[in-house]
Amino acid sequence: MPRKLTGIGLFAAGAGVGAAIALLYAPRSGKHTRARLRNTANRTIHRVEEIQNEVRSRMSEIVEDTSETIATAITAGKDKAVRVSRECLQGTVDRVRERMNEGRERVEEYIRALAG
């Protein structure tokens, strides 16, 4: 750990010396430099807000598109379920009719056999 702390201390000292040299050799006055920093910060904040609005807009589009896709899929699924249910029900009704006809034919044969 002492090496790590020494490294951090040396880095901080170097950063401080670098900042001091930068201030000494700055081509503009402190007032002008602060104004430039303020303008740069304001432009950066404005750009971040623009990016944030773009991201929100894009996410809204994605959510809307996804919602439409899901709604379409749900509708298609319901339609398919109704079709399958109708087909299944129709098949059941057809089988019941066949069995009823078979049963009627047996009863008629049985009655003919008894009468005959």
The tens digit of pLDDT for each residue in 19-53 reads 777 766 777 777 887 787 788 888 888 988 999 99
| Predicted confidence band of residue 65 (pLDDT cuts 50, 70, 90) | very high
* Two tokens, residue 66: 């996804």
33 burial type by CB count under 10 A (0-12 exposed, 13-18 middle, 19+ buried): middle
Please determine, for residue 93, whether its predicted confidence score (pLDDT) is greater than 70: yes
Please say whether the beta carbons of 16 and 9 come within 8 A.
no
